[in-house]
């Protein structure tokens, strides 16, 4: 655990030294809150609460896809990276440190969204629901962490940036994150339960409000976790084999 914390500290220092990397993860959800949620749903307590939870999900998704997808790909390009894989501690502390650092940055990226929701909208949440939402953030980070790892270990850094950018907006739109529950266009409501963003959003909605999750969306979220874990594991093993063959 101590080695994992050392690696997490290293990862955080590397990212904080370039503040724009932290800013980028929070910008799109915060901008969506200001330009869409505040003017159109800000005075509706229920609508603003759901919308804030959706933007939290949006922030979790974008933060993890970019942190791991782009970050891992860039690390693989560094000459220091192959050497760290030969150290006696093995890959586990380094991987655990990356996950801890990523989770810390995920929570950091949520601060603007939560502040905007609390100060500029009528969103309401009980202390118990707020704590439940904090725990839910860690749960819904899992599929997007795995998605980022799959991208980062599969592609060079320039390609990883493009793939991450191409994926995160369609996942947000397709998962219904930019509309209230049940108010998305018909074709979005049809495809949404099959995307990981919808299952994640429904868990967030259920954490902060009286919302009954759709079983199909949660089941598909679990399916995505399994598939993405297999893909990330395959990509990591392939990358290991290439570097040491």
More confident residue, 25 or 148: 148
Work out the mean pLDDT of the chain and round it to a whole number. Answer: 83
Q: Using CA atoms, how far apart are residues 47 and 122, in angstroms rounded to an integer?
A: 9
Higher-confidence residue: 32 or 146? Answer: 146
The model's pLDDT over 91-114, given as tens digits with 9 standing for 90+, comes to 666 667 777 877 888 888 888 889
pLDDT higher than threshold 60 for residue 245 = no
For a pLDDT cut of 90, what percent of the chain falls above it? 29
**What is the model's pLDDT at position 22?**
66
Q: Distance between CA atoms of 240 and 232, rounded to whole angstroms?
A: 12
pLDDT of residue 186: 85
| Model confidence at 13: pLDDT above 80 | no
Highest-confidence segment of 65-69, 184-188, 204-208, 209-213:
204-208
Confidence of residue 184 (pLDDT cuts 50, 70, 90): confident
Q: In three state form, how does the secondary structure of the chain look?
A: CHHHHHHHHHHHHHHHCCHHHHHHHHHHHHHHHHHHHHHHHCCCHHHHHHHHHHHHHHHHHHHHHHHHHHHHHHHHCCCHHHHHCCCCCCHHHHHHHHHHHHHHHHHHHHHHHHHHHHHHCCCCCCHHHHHHHHHHHHHHHHHHHHHHHHHHHHCCHHHHHHHHHHHHHHHHHHCCCCCCCCCCCHHHHHHHHHCHHHHHHHHHHHHHCCCCCCHHHHHHHHHHHHHHHHHHHHHHHHHHHHHHC
Which range among 74-78, 84-88, 118-122 shows the weakest confidence by mean pLDDT?
Answer: 84-88
**93 or 50, higher pLDDT:** 50
pTM: 0.87
**21-43 pLDDT, tens digit each:** 667 677 777 888 888 788 877 77
């Amino acid at each position: 655990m101590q080695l994992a914390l050392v690696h997490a500290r290293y990862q955080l220092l590397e990212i904080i030294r370039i503040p724009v990397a932290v800013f980028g993860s929070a910008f799109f959800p915060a901008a969506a809150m200001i330009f869409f949620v505040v003017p159109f749903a800000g005075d509706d307590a229920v609508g603003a609460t759901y919308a804030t939870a959706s933007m939290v999900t949006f922030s979790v998704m974008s933060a993890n896809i970019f942190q791991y997808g782009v970050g891992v790909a860039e690390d693989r390009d560094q000459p220091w990276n192959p050497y760290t894989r030969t150290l006696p501690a093995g890959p586990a502390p380094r991987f655990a440190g990356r996950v801890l650092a990523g989770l810390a940055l995920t929570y950091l990226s949520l601060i603007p969204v939560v502040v905007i929701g609390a100060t500029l909208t009528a969103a309401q949440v009980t202390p118990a629901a707020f704590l439940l939402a904090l725990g839910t953030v860690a749960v819904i980070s899992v599929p997007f962490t795995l998605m980022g790892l799959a991208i980062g270990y599969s592609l060079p850094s320039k390609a990883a940036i493009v793939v991450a950018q191409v994926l995160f907006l369609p996942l947000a739109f397709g998962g219904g994150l930019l509309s209230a529950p049940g108010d998305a266009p018909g074709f979005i409501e049809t495809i949404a339960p099959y995307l990981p963003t919808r299952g994640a959003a429904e868990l967030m909605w259920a954490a902060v409000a009286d919302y009954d999750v759709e079983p199909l969306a949660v089941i598909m979220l679990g399916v995505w976790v399994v598939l993405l874990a297999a893909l990330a594991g395959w990509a990591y093993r392939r990358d290991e084999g290439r570097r040491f063959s």
